[in-house]
Every structure is written in C-alpha cells, then in structure tokens.
C-alpha cells in the first residue's frame, strides 16, 4: 500500500521514479471505490480521468520540481471553495454551487504540485462535533462502523485514516480538526490564528476559524504547514510573521522542557479510559526528559459558554448571506442544528442582550487569554485530552444537542485564545476505539509542537495502526 508511506518517503520514491504519480492517484481512487460507499468520507470526487491526466503531467515534469507534495493526491474539507469542483459546506443550500476561484490554501498546495481529488464530508457549515449534521450521507468511523467520526472535519479524518489520500486539509473553529483526528487515529494541527490564510473558506465563526492539515503523522504535518502558511493579500487577518522550516524542529531534544497539565482538563466529565491514556502518554514525555508541572486556568469552567456565545453570534451574521437571493437555495434547507445556532446567535446579538451576553463573553475571552498566557510563561506547552468522551454511536449525539456542544470542552478555549494545538494518537479503549491527546503551544509556536509530537511518535506506534476495515487489504 503506497499511501501508507510518509509524505517524505513518497516524495523520494517519486523523484527516484520507483513509483509514479499515476500509481498514487490510481491507488487513491481504488481505495475510494472500495471503501467510500460504506464510509461516506467524500461529498464530491473529481473525475478520475481528469486526475489521471494531471498525474501524467506531474510524472513528465518530476525532475524539475522540488516540492515535497509534488504528484501526491490530496483532499480538502468541503468548507473550501474550489474552482473545478462544487462546494457545499455540507449543506444542500449550496448543493449546486461552483466557485469562480480556489481558496488560498487549495491554490498553494496545487501550485506545489499536489493533485486535488475530492471534497470531504462535514457537519454543515461546521455546526457539529460528530459529522452527523451533514445534509449528505453520515460518515462512519473506520474503527467501528456504528460510531461517529468526530466533526466537523470528519470526512477528512476518515480519508486519511483509511489511506484514501496521504493528507487532507481541515478547518478548526472549536476543535473541528483535533476532534476527528483523535477519534480516527490520525494527527491534526490547529494553527495559530492568522498563520494560514482563511481566504476562500466558508466562514463559521470568523474570529475562531483556522485552516490546518490532517495527516498520518506529525512529520507529515510539519512539511504541509511550510507550504500552507504565510501572509495573503486577500486575508487581512493573515500574519506577516516569517514561515519557518518546521521540519527542522523534529529531532530536537525536549530534555528540560516543561509540560503544563491544566488541572481543569482532568476533572469531572472526562472518560476514565481517556484520562488513563493521556496520563500514560505523559510518562513517555518524562522518559524523554520533559518536566511535568500542574497549572490552573480558573475561568476554563466558563470556556464552553464563552465559545458558543461568540461562535453562534458570528455564525448568525455569516450565514445571513445565504438568503436564496445572493447565494444558495431556500433557507428552509437549513438543518435543525443550524437553525438552533442561528437563533441563539441572533438572540445573543439582539438589542437588550448584546451587552449582557456577547460583550460579556468577549470580556471573559480576554481573561482566558491572559490565563493561558500566564500558564505558558512557566511552561513550554500544555497537554490534555482532546474530547471528554469516546466516539459515540451514530444517532446518540445528534439527538442530544448539549452533549454535542460539550465535545468542544477541551478544544474550544484554544480557538478563543488563538493559540496552536496538535492532536496526536495515544492509544485505544477496551473496545478498540482511538484516543488522542492535544499539545497546546504559544502563538506561532507550531515548531515546538512538532518537536514534542514527533519525538512522542518515535517512541510509540499508535499513529501507524490501520483501522479494521482496511487491515485485510494492507498490501
């Protein structure tokens, strides 16, 4: 199975002409044809003939290109507009929408020589933590077909986990990359706000949305961020800060580095198996020479409330354009979850309530930022769980809106403060369900996160496990 190789290994094999881009694209489509009718990780797939023609061109020009992703197939969450493939954001409102341009992140990766083969399934408009809130077929977790994938970038996580593609691009507003990465046993990066351009991303909550890579390993993520990151004239929130050679952090020692454990991350509500797995991961870091220190985030208890007041207020504004006059089909096609979020957000912004709700949430957001900054002054990174619970059975979470919101308990505050966070596979439950943990860093500290994550993956092989649905066809 070629796609089980790392991005660097695939790049080297292509340059030596031991494999071809055509081989990779054929394998990608073969796996999609074999598994996606059951898994539903894609909403739209590019015509195979077109993708193979692109691959043939890449093979002809491989000697003239040094990009590490040159000739590799990839997929993107359907939240990013693409010129040649429809964009739905997981909603039938945009069922027939074709953009006149590509999102910046898609354009950058395509210019680096990668071949886009499809758009991944998602909770519509990013509204969900389970990927059950899609207007298309609900994706299934390849580790247990009765379970959710996590959301809202669940389709992208499934496509990487089953090796349909070497990597995918997700979007994280409150955990939407980290949550499905943890539930599907892959690595995923939530970047510093502004590190990657949001131009061409269909907005959920503009002050929280981040564009990030999802891949088999931390090493792969480091190479992808080097391509994706950087200032964009089309996005005034994108940062001018220099893009680093992130892969150079990979083999640096973490001896003497301090890992902070927020005590609020390990309190009531955390599944015992997840807690045990995360604490076991901490022992690996101690073995590598890191020091462990308990810290406190006193206002973390208000994090979910703050996050959802701000996120829903912003989404009620962003979705105002989908009124069937400017974009999309009838508003009656909004799902119950989206209607619920629009109404709550509109209420929070309404006269007489904006000061009491939205503005108060923004003040508490500032306090949270200060508390995280204080913790990160004494620690190099913070570490904790990604989700409070294991992947639930399909149908359970969508019928319990509160549980859906609480899946963002440990992830949403990181978006509020604008910091980067890395989700890493850490083990499995007694029912063989994936469990991950997240490492949170200082703003623009992605390199240090890769440093921690890479060394952990050199000591463990959780990220190399293959889901049951494809184990029998590994070769």
The distance from CA 188 to its chain's CA centroid, rounded to whole angstroms, is 5
Q: What is the pLDDT of residue 317?
A: 95
* Distance between CA atoms of residues 160 and 216, nearest Å: 7
Q: What is the pLDDT of residue 472?
A: 63
- 152 is an active site residue: yes
Task: Judge contact between 153 and 77, C-beta under 8 A.
Answer: yes
Average pLDDT over residues 426-454: 98
Active site residue: 58, 77, 190, 257, which one?
A: 77
- 28 is an active site residue: no
How many structural domains does the chain have?
1
* Total residue count of the chain as it appears in this document: 475
Q: pLDDT tens for residues 150-181?
A: 999 999 999 999 999 999 999 999 999 999 99
Task: Judge contact between 438 and 383, C-beta under 8 A.
Answer: yes
Q: pLDDT tens for residues 53-72?
A: 999 999 999 988 889 999 99
Q: Give Cβ neighbours of residue 369 (< 8 Å, ≥ 6 apart).
A: 416, 417, 418
CATH code of the domain containing 42: 3.90.1300.10
Q: By residue range, what is the domain housing residue 379?
A: 2-471
Q: pLDDT tens for residues 214-232?
A: 999 999 999 999 999 999 9
Active site residue: 176, 197, 239, 313, which one?
A: 176
115 DSSP 8-state letter? E
Average pLDDT score, the chain: 96
Cα radius of gyration (the chain): 21
Supply 102's token pair. Answer: 């590509």
Q: pLDDT tens for residues 244-267?
A: 999 999 989 999 999 999 999 999
Which residue in 129, 143, 151 sits closest to 431, CA to CA? 143
Q: Give Cβ neighbours of residue 233 (< 8 Å, ≥ 6 apart).
A: none
- 429 is an active site residue: no
* Distance between CA atoms of residues 124 and 131, nearest Å: 8
SS3 of 453, please? Answer: helix
Residue 326 has pLDDT above 90, yes or no: no
Active site residue: 21, 99, 152, 392, which one?
A: 152
The model's pTM is 0.97
DSSP letter string, 364-412: HHHHHHHHHHHHHHH-SEEEEES-SSPPPBTTTTTT-HHHHHHTTTTTH
Q: Give Cβ neighbours of residue 322 (< 8 Å, ≥ 6 apart).
A: 93, 94, 328, 331
Q: What is the pLDDT of residue 45?
A: 98
Average pLDDT over residues 103-123: 98
Q: What is the pLDDT of residue 63?
A: 86
Residue 475 has pLDDT above 60, yes or no: no
Q: Residue 473 — pLDDT band, cuts 50, 70, 90? A: low
For the chain, percent of residues with pLDDT exceeding 90: 91
Helix (H) or strand (E) holding 190: strand 187-190
Q: What is the pLDDT of residue 327?
A: 77
Judge if the upstream peptide bond of residue 317 is cis by omega within 30 degrees of 0.
Answer: no
């Amino acid at each position: 199975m070629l796609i089980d190789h790392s991005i660097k290994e695939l790049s080297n094999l292509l340059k030596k002409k031991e494999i071809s881009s055509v081989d990779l694209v054929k394998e990608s489509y073969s796996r999609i044809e074999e598994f996606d009718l059951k898994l539903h990780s894609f909403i739209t797939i590019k015509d195979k003939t077109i993708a193979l023609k692109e691959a043939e061109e890449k093979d002809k020009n491989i000697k003239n290109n040094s990009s590490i992703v040159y000739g590799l197939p990839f997929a993107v969450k359907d939240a990013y507009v693409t010129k040649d493939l429809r964009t739905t954001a997981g909603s039938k409102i945009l069922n027939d929408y074709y953009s006149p341009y590509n999102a910046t992140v898609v354009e950058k990766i395509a210019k680096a020589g990668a071949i886009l083969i499809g758009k991944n399934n998602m909770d519509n408009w990013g509204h969900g933590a389970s990927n059950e809130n899609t207007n298309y077929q609900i994706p299934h977790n390849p580790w247990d077909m009765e379970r959710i994938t996590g959301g809202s970038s669940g389709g992208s996580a499934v496509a990487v986990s089953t090796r349909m593609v070497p990597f995918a691009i997700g979007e994280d507003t409150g955990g939407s990359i980290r949550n499905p990465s943890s539930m599907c046993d892959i690595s995923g990066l939530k970047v510093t706000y502004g590190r990657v351009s949001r131009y061409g991303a269909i907005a959920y909550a503009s002050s929280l949305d981040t564009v990030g890579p999802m891949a088999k390993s931390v090493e792969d993520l480091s190479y992808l961020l080097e391509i994706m990151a950087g200032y964009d004239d089309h996005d005034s929130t994108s940062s001018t800060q220099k893009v680093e050679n992130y892969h150079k952090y990979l083999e640096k020692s973490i001896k003497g580095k301090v890992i902070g454990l927020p005590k609020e991350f390990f309190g009531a509500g955390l599944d015992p198996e997840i807690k045990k797995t995360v604490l076991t991961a901490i022992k690996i870091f101690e073995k590598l020479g890191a020091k462990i220190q308990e810290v406190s985030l006193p206002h973390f208890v208000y994090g979910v409330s703050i996050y959802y007041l701000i996120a829903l207020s912003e989404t009620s504004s962003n979705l105002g354009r989908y009124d069937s006059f400017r974009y999309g089909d009838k508003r009656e096609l909004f799902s119950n979850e989206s209607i619920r979020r629009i109404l709550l957000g509109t209420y929070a912004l309404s006269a007489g309530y904006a000061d009491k709700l939205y503005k108060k949430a923004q003040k508490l957001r500032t306090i949270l930022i200060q508390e995280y900054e204080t913790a990160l002054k004494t620690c190099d990174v913070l570490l904790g769980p990604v989700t409070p619970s294991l992947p639930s059975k399909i149908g359970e979470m969508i019928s319990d809106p509160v549980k859906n919101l609480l899946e963002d308990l440990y992830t949403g505050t990181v978006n509020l403060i604008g910091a980067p966070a890395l989700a890493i596979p850490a083990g499995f439950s007694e029912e063989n369900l994936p469990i991950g943990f997240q490492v949170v860093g200082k703003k623009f500290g992605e390199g240090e996160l890769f440093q921690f994550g890479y060394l952990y993956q050199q000591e463990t092989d959780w990220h190399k496990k293959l889901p049951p649905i494809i184990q029998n066809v590994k070769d």
